[in-house]
Amino acid sequence: MLPSAGVYYFPWEINSSVPEGEALRTFGRLCCYDLAHSEAVLTVQHSSAQYQVCVDTKFVEPFQAQLGSFYMVLGEAEYREETSSPVVKARILTCVEGMNVSLLEQAIQKQRKYFKERQE
């Protein structure tokens, strides 16, 4: 049986309500990468707030980290004692620099609407 395709979460939606082990997709700008600890941080600006998503990169290394570039990640949520939000254990980490973020957000909203209507 194939694993789940991964639910899209906006970075500002990733919090303690995301079930551990759930496959998820999210995105953001790579603001820092620590090869020694296999950790990266993606950030995104939404409204007037800045949001961060921690990413465990053990399974996708080595990769060409381009700080400041836009990345999309597919992985599983994992909780650690030192963080209140889940860490995304990346299975795929792709640089998508140049992607239209507002169109991506619209597409995610339309996909959610479609899935919700399909369940009714």
Residue 61 in any domain: the answer is yes
Residue 23 in any domain: the answer is yes
* Residue recorded with tokens 């479609």: 114
Residue 113 in any domain: the answer is yes
Residue 70 in any domain: the answer is yes
Closest CA to 9 of 48, 39, 51, 60: 51
Residue 18's pLDDT is what?
Answer: 82
Domain region containing 93: 7-118
Per residue in 72-108, pLDDT (tens digit) is 999 999 988 777 778 999 999 999 998 898 899 999 9
Domain total in the chain: 1
> How does residue 16 score in pLDDT terms, banded at 50, 70 and 90?
confident
Residue 26: CATH number of its domain: 2.40.50.140
Residue 2 in any domain: the answer is no
Per residue in 40-78, pLDDT (tens digit) is 999 998 888 899 999 999 999 888 889 999 999 999 999
Residue 1 in any domain: the answer is no
> What are the two backbone dihedrals, phi and then psi, of residue 83, each rounded to the nearest 5 degrees?
-125, 145
